[in-house]
Amino acid sequence: MFISFEGTEGVGKTTLIRTLYEYFQQQGKDVILTREPGGTPLAEQIRGLLLSVNHDEQMSSDTELLLMYAARAQHLEQVILPALAQGKIVLCDRFTDSSFAYQCAGRGLSREKLALLNENFVVKMPDVTFWLDAPIETGMSRARERGALDRFEQEKVSFFEKVRSGFVEIQQRESQRMKRLDATQAPEKVFADALTYLK
């Protein structure tokens, strides 16, 4: 089973994934935990480029999109597909829905560009996607407590509102695959809701 986790920043994806990972391990399941952008040494280097604020020039939205998919191609081939072929549960922090929400809804890139990349480079979609939804300010204040902000975290509330509207749209379109979780609840309750759904 391939499960992805989506949402705007600081909504608790990483927290939920870690708890589910431990739960599956305790159940004796073969499970891996991975993330995007990243998940392989090369893809993690691309992540570094994407999140860095130390560029002398502004990264174009097209470059951002293509780097996301360069990292994704590597991640799919090296990690996700082999793990699924071995019957493992794959827990992935963000996947293609983030590209729709951030690069299309957020940055304003065309859906055609994204569709082209998905059709050609994404051979496997998640079986289940958990969308952790909380007001933008809630997630931002949680994330900001950590300190230094990356290139995405420096964006304004208005950008994240557009990103959130992207997730709303996907959930309406693909309600079978994408399950909304109320991320304003305590972490234990978010975990319990996810588990109930999976069971």
Footprint of ligand Z5A on this chain (CB under 6 A)? 7, 9-15, 36-37, 68, 93-94, 98-99, 102-103, 142-143, 152-153, 183, 186-187, 190
**Is 11 labeled as ligand-binding?**
yes
**Is 184 labeled as ligand-binding?**
no
Report, in Å, the least distance between residue 30 CB and ligand Z5A. Answer: 23
State both tokens at 166. Answer: 């992207």
Long-range contacts of 18-24 (CB under 8 A, 24+ apart): 19/187, 19/191, 20/91, 20/191, 20/194, 20/195, 21/91, 23/191, 23/195, 24/89, 24/91
**Is 48 labeled as ligand-binding?**
no
First to last CA, the chain: 13
Handedness of CA 170, 19, 2, 33 (dihedral sign): positive
Report, in Å, the least distance between residue 82 CB and ligand Z5A. Answer: 20
The smaller minimum CB distance to ligand Z5A, of residues 31 and 183, is found at: 183
- Closest residue (Cβ) to ligand Z5A? 12
Residue set of the binding site for ATP = 7-14
